[in-house]
Structure 1
Amino acid sequence: MFDLIVVADWSAAATPTGPTPRKDAIWVCADLGGVQEVAYFPTRAGALDWIEAWLARGHRTLLGFDFAMGYPPGFAGALTGRDEALAVWDWLAARIVDGPDNANNRYEVAQRINRAFPGIGPFWGRDAHLDLPDLPPKKTSRVDHVLDEHRAVEMRCRGAKSVWQLAYSGAVGSQSLVGLAALAKLRARHPDLAVWPQETGFAHSDARIVLAEIYPSLFAPAEHPIRDAGQVIATANALRAAPAEWFTAPGTIPDAALIAVEEGWILGVGADGPLPVPASARPPSDCFALPPGMEWTPVDTALATLREASPCVVAAERLAIGDAAGRVLAEDVVARRSNPPAANAAVDGWAFAHGTLAPGPVPVAEGRAAAGQPFAGPLHPGEAVRILTGAEVPDGADTVALQEDAAVAEGRLHLKAVPKRGANTRAAGEDVAEGGAVLAAGTILRPTDLAFAIAAGHGTLPVRARLRVGVLSTGDEIVAPGAGEGIPDVNRPMLLAVLRGWGFEAVDLGHAPDDANALAATLDAAATDAILTSGGASAGDEDHLSRLMRERGGVHHWRIAIKPGRPLVLGRWNGVPLFGLPGNPVAAFTCAALFARPALFQMAGAGWREPEALVVPAAFAKRKKAGRREVLRARLRGGRAEVFRSEGSGLVSGLSWAEGFVELPDAAVEVSEGDPVRYIPFTALGLA
């Protein structure tokens, strides 16, 4: 039916994604008669220019974008007065600002939309630093906004995300806001373009350009180093092979005409769900291939994603300084007073003006200067006065002679030698001057930091509330510690203790059985800022967590190229960061230390904190293949790193034996005794 098929995997990134092709960016596939060209774009403007160049060739074209082209029922009418998706397009085009460098105002526009509806919502999800009180950061903060969570078509697509979510893993709402504004302008430039099904109904169209909503997750990705590119290739293949019935099949649903105009539809979905993909569009069968969505993610890629997706989420509060130890400082702190506030004596002795002393004995003034008891003076030129350590140097004096270098006889001071000008004094503000920097935001306050802040004039400090982190164990096989038969719950007590050691508020979420509904209910009820789970992160029949996260949550990464710890889920549940740790205690401990720790500290306001490693000689020999990072339990003895007797991740005794990790790189490596290796002491991970 079409000469040219163009498929775009969109992005709402607020900055260009850089010159190097990467995932979670804009990828476009142009398929002209079966010959494909795939391109990556750092900006939306660049992608649209490329698409326009293809449209200018005059071919009959099917143009697909992978974001929702309509909203749940009632939204369009309430916002624009017309129950038409295209009215929303035009409304957004008049208000969305999307610059050539990807800078846009989508969050502000979403807040404006929320204000047009009762309650709180429907849009949610934003960067924590944005001051947008009517755009809640969490899904659970919404109430009484009266709109459905999904459109009719999304109810027929397993795993389809809600268009109301604007941020965090799996979010699609931002893509729609900026995308629909762009499509409204594209449509205005092309009078020979028709939108399916909003303008065409569930029917064929003779328009030269047919614009449709697509959902690449319906199709197994083609082989490509970057999954997003593989998805647009596979979608183009499927659309090239699709029968004409794909355009008409949804017309059998109740209220099809109303749904087509107001909500829109996804091409490739029928009345009962996704339509069969023609065999000619399917990739070759490979019984050893990973299922769709499963990738081995390099450690550095996973950490980079976590760093970008883990902003500070806790509010600031002010505490008495004595209660602030261990808290994260919320703002830069400057000195309210100089320390010392005035010049003072560094020793017990005698104060005088250096340039006024006459040769011989020095007259002694009556009185003295002590800490907190200034000399009542005045001190006349040529006189000396008794002064004690910490006392304010009297006006007119600039030097202090040591008590041991002086003697008083018949009311006069005899000096063994006159010290140089300024000797034995501390200048005002020598430690810190009023208005000077004291402590930086993000500092985890130690007792010594409190001492400095007090000396600088502070009695209270602005700090972050403690990050609340829940810990949940999963699996029918798990029993309480000491309960008898079964596998004792090692992970939950261990992880709760780790979190407390890091200064977070550790919340015990208990134990969930191997039941998807029970697990989902427990996660829904977790009123925490982050969640650590253990178990259920692999791909077995009872590994419900990984399946639930793909279906209802949002996954950043699943399966990390690391040993131990490959079955690791990094994502969000109801907008809350979730770290799906492996069930094996060694792997759970390792992944919590290397992945959860830096992200949690950043969420707590302390910034991204990766450990400082030491380079030390190896006391072992080992050969490893390329493709994954390996973390060995280790300790230092005699300045050399020795490793535990076995790499078996089931040996919990190795955790107690170890005092750190040896980290071997992703590349192939052969270590001989004496070779330098990277050693991370547990003290650098806050685990000792």
Structure 2
Amino acid sequence: MFDLILVADWSAAAVPTGAAPRKDAIWICAEEGGVETTEYFRTRAAALEWIDRQLDRGLCTLLTFDFAMGFPAGLAAHLTGRAEALALWEWLAEQIEDGPDNANNRFAVGQAINRSLPGTGPFWGRPAHLDLPDLPPTRAVVDHPLTATRRAVERLAPTAKPVWQLAYAGTVGSQSLLGCAALARLRQRPDLAVWPQETGFVRPEARIVLAEIYPSLWPPAPAAIRDEGQVVTTARALRAAPAEWFSAPAVHPDATRLAVEEGWILGIGPDGPYPAPPAPRVASDCFALPPGVTWTPVETALATLRAASDVVTGIERVDVSEATGRILAEDIAARRANPPEANAAVDGWGFAYGTLSGGHVPIVEGRAAAGQSYPGVVPPAHAIRILTGAALPAGVDTVALQEDAEAGDDGLSLAAMPKAGANTRAAGEDVRVGGPVLAQGTILRPGDVGFAIAAGHGTLQVRTRLRVGVLSTGDEIVAPGAEGGIPDVNRPMLLAMLAGWGFAAVDLGHAPDDAETLAAMLDGAATDAILTSGGASAGDEDHLSRLLRTRGSLHHWRIAVKPGRPLALGLWQGVPVFGLPGNPVAAFTCAAWFARPALLQMAGAGWREPVGLMVPAAFAKRKKAGRRELLRARLRDGAAEVFRSEGSGLVSGLSWAEGFVDLPDEAARVEAGDPVRYVSFAELGIG
């Protein structure tokens, strides 16, 4: 229905948000032809200016915002004389002052509305420093007869916040006051219609359709900032949504009035929220670069891959003993405290610190050991033998080290008095019941599994393993160890890399230079993604490239990186295909740098790029501007040395190296001792 979908997560911030992207700010996802891009804005003025530019492009556009575009019944009629949400927009546009620096008068407007109504409220919530006596600081004192707490549509989405709240966590009222005033100005466009306030519950026909959304209806897409993930998920849901989303609420018995006076949330039907509709596994042009881009910077390539790589794996529950290397599918909290009760951290003697007065300390009979709690109470000024891990008996709060005490017939003699509480562990010192343990997307290491067990988990929900096939092509390729031809280095190497990343690596074999044989092998792959080497260049004799171009989709990227300039990205029956260079060094580098983060995101682990560290160079080099260079390297005596040759045909360099030196796009002159960025193979998941 739409060429362009814009999803805005609005903000009522009173000052510009930080230069670095953050939550509780303005995030907008633009979805166009299956390609998603996200934008972060520091001010509402900047966001609206950007939106205006998008609307001026002439595309059929669905423009959506995440704040209430109407208020509960009664308010619009009281303030404007018309029971119409759009009349209230116009009234707010006259009252609201919202500067280019985000400075605004929303709290004063909230108080003015309260003063015009009988009773106290309905708006509430304000910063403590504001002297606004008619704007209650809390909801507890709100008492007025005119308006309901929620709109009808909000009663179908229980987690939606009431629009009357103007401050504190979860507030949405401030966004609505400022947002509706801004929408009144956007509505001046003659080719824009507001759903459902202007269109009713019918499929809109205007070039620009403005509608309200609620991003929390669906789980957010993987992203460093949840708000960004929510707008992406909502854009995907709207792209796949059937036309009935616009018309189904019409069966509500009060539909006509609700549409005009209160509005509605797109994505909620007459009985509640719709499930997110199934979207195409990967959009047909998801790998397309921006128009006019020929040489692709590494960062642009990575950003495009990130936007195009959806999670495709399922969920299964496994025993913790089988969870190492798997991807956690949910946040988990502690089911038990660790330790479950206060216990001894050492072997020694336990007593109540405040009861000792010096001299020999009487020793009670028995002992406390791990798993063998002492059943009685240790009297004041007495000591008990206690072993590491034993629960502290009643009457014990301190433990003296075994080597700092001597037990004799006349009692215990302490060489030195420990501090109160010494050598003990408090109950829940590590984690308390209900405390966070591990986050969704964690690639579980042995230590993570140990923590989960300590926190009371015997099974974990994990992602099913991403199935990634590897296919080599070309009549010139021969099996390892065979005579003649070119040995198939890439397929075994890539399969080993995939297995090391925790995926189910599937050997798809070697395809000859025959299009129909190759098509049949791709059809039978039954994988979530495919890595190929060879046959993916742009020439007419490259069978894989031609096959993807005619029966699937194909985009050739000339990435500004050395080694590994050519990279083909395509789809075969909705399955992503990464066409790696045939040169083993370039195939290794492109798989580690480009395929790995995309595959990890598809697997449910989120987008992961290496951080690296700055180390002194043990080499000298000059490079020209225009290409990023990834030099095979290793650390020796704290400095990075590089392989003897940059020739990408020297496979021995992959065995010699233990990582990469990453030189940026700019021209550079590196001398020995200069700082350079080093990324180890271990950080790239390569053993």
Report if TM-score (shorter chain) is over 0.5: yes
TM-score (normalizing by structure 1): 0.62
Map of 1:647 onto structure 2: 646
Q: TM-score, normalised by structure 2?
A: 0.62
Task: Return the match for 2:283 from 157, 160, 168.
Answer: 168
| Residue aligning to 2:657 | 658
- Asked whether the 8 Å contact 1:305–1:556 carries over to 2, the reply is no
Deviations 1:470-506, CA, capped at 9 Å, x for gaps: 0001112111112212111111011001111111110
On the 8 A contact 2:34/2:284 being kept in 1, the answer is: no
- In the other structure, the counterpart of 2:446 is 447
Query: 2:678 corresponds to which residue?
Result: 679
Distance 2:447 2:53 in 1: 48
1:534 lines up with 2:533 in the alignment: yes
Contact persistence 2:35–2:286 (CA under 8 A): no
Q: Which residue of 1 aligns with 2:571?
A: 572
Question: What does residue range 426-575 of structure 1 map to in structure 2 within 5 Å?
Answer: 426-555=425-554, 558-575=557-574
Which residue in 2 is equivalent to 1:74? none
Q: Deviations over 1:238-284 (max 9, x none)?
A: xxxxxxxxxxxxxxxxxxxxxxxxxxxxxxxxxxxxxxxxxxxxxxx
Q: Distance in 1 between matches of 2:301 and 2:314?
A: 27
The reply to whether residue 109 of structure 1 matches residue 224 of structure 2 is: no
How far apart, in 2, do the equivalents of 1:12 and 1:526 lie? 34
Q: 8 Å contact 1:41–1:47 — kept in the other structure?
A: no
d(CA) in 2 for partners of 1:111 and 1:464? 33
Query: How big is each residue's C-alpha offset from its partner over 1:67-121, in whole Å with a ceiling of 9 and x where there is no partner?
Result: xxxxxxxxxxxxxxxxxxxxxx975659x975489966535633969xx9xxxxx
Q: Does 1:135 align with 2:128?
A: no
State whether residues 633 and 657 of structure 2, in contact with CA within 8 Å, keep that contact through their aligned partners in structure 1.
yes
Shift of 1:334: 1.6
Give the alignment of 1:88-107 within 5 angstroms.
Answer: 91=203, 93=205, 99=211, 106-107=238-239
Q: 1:394 to 1:46 in 2, by over 3 A?
A: farther
Going from structure 1 to structure 2, the CA distance change for 1:358 and 1:673 (only over 3 Å counts) comes to closer
What are the residue-to-residue correspondences of 1:28-427 with 2, within 5 Å? Answer: 45-48=55-58, 91=203, 93=205, 99=211, 106-107=238-239, 109-110=241-242, 132=275, 135=278, 137-138=280-281, 167-170=282-285, 228=291, 295-410=294-409, 412-427=411-426
Shift of 1:411: 5.4
Q: Is the 8 A contact 2:628 2:664 kept in 1?
A: yes
Q: Structure 1's 42 and 517: CA in aligned 2 closer, same or farther, altered over 3 A?
A: farther
* TM-aligned CA distance change 1:370 to 1:480, over 3 Å: same
Q: CA offsets, 1:603-635, max 9 Å, x none? A: 112221111223233333333332222222222
Contact 2:3–2:59 (Cα < 8 Å) also in 1? no
SS of residue matched to 1:448: helix
Aligned equivalents of 1:108, 1:599: Cα separation in 2: 22
What is the CA–CA distance in structure 2 between the aligned matches of 1:534 and 1:583, rounded to whole Å? 5
- How far apart in 2 are the matches of 1:363 and 1:684? 57
Percentage identity across paired residues of the two chains: 65
Q: CA–CA distance in 1 between the matches of 2:411 and 2:671?
A: 76
Change (3 A) 1:415 1:359: same
Deviation string, structure 1 residues 543-589 (Cα, Å, up to 9, x no partner): 13333333333345522222222221123322222111011111111
Deviation at 1:417, TM superposition (A): 4.1
**Residues 90 and 526 (structure 1), Cα distance of their counterparts in 2 relative to 1, 3 Å cut:** farther
Q: Say if 2:326 and 2:502, in contact at 8 Å, map to a contact too.
A: yes
Q: Is 2:470–2:509's contact at 8 Å kept on the other side of the alignment?
A: yes
Is the Cα contact below 8 Å between 1:319 and 1:460 reproduced in 2? yes
Q: Structure 2: which 5+ runs fail to align?
A: 9-26, 38-48, 62-187, 192-200, 214-230, 249-272
> What per-residue deviation string (whole Å, max 9, x for no partner) do you get for residues 9-65 of structure 1?
94345458689x999689xxxxxxxxxxxx9967764545999xxxx999xxxx9xx
The residue matched to 1:110 in structure 2 has which SS? coil
Matched residue count: 475
1:220-243 C-alpha deviation (Å, 9 max, x unpaired): xxxxxx964x6xxxxxxxxxxxxx
Residue identity matched to 1:110? P
Return the letter of the residue paired with 2:382: E
User: How many Å separate the matches in 2 of 1:458 and 1:669?
Assistant: 52
CA deviation digits over 1:631-685, x for unaligned, max 9?
2222233433333233222222222222222222222333334333222221221
1:132-189 CA-partner distances (Å, limit 9, x unpaired): 5863654xxxxxxxxxxxxxxxxxxxxxxxxxxxx524279xxxxxxxxxxxxxxxxx
Q: Which amino acid aligns with 1:370?
A: A
Q: Are the aligned partners of 1:44 and 1:100 in contact in 2 as well (CA < 8 Å)?
A: no
Distance 1:593 1:171 in 2: 21
Query: RMSD across aligned C-alpha pairs, in angstroms?
Result: 3.9
1:656 & 1:594 partners in 2: Cα distance? 18
- Cα separation, 2, equivalents of 1:492 and 1:49: 45
Whether the aligned pair in 2 keeps the contact of 1:491 and 1:585 (CA below 8 Å) is yes
Measured after TM superposition, the shift of residue 345 of structure 1 is 1.2
The CA deviation at 1:406 is 3.0
Alignment match, 2:580: 581
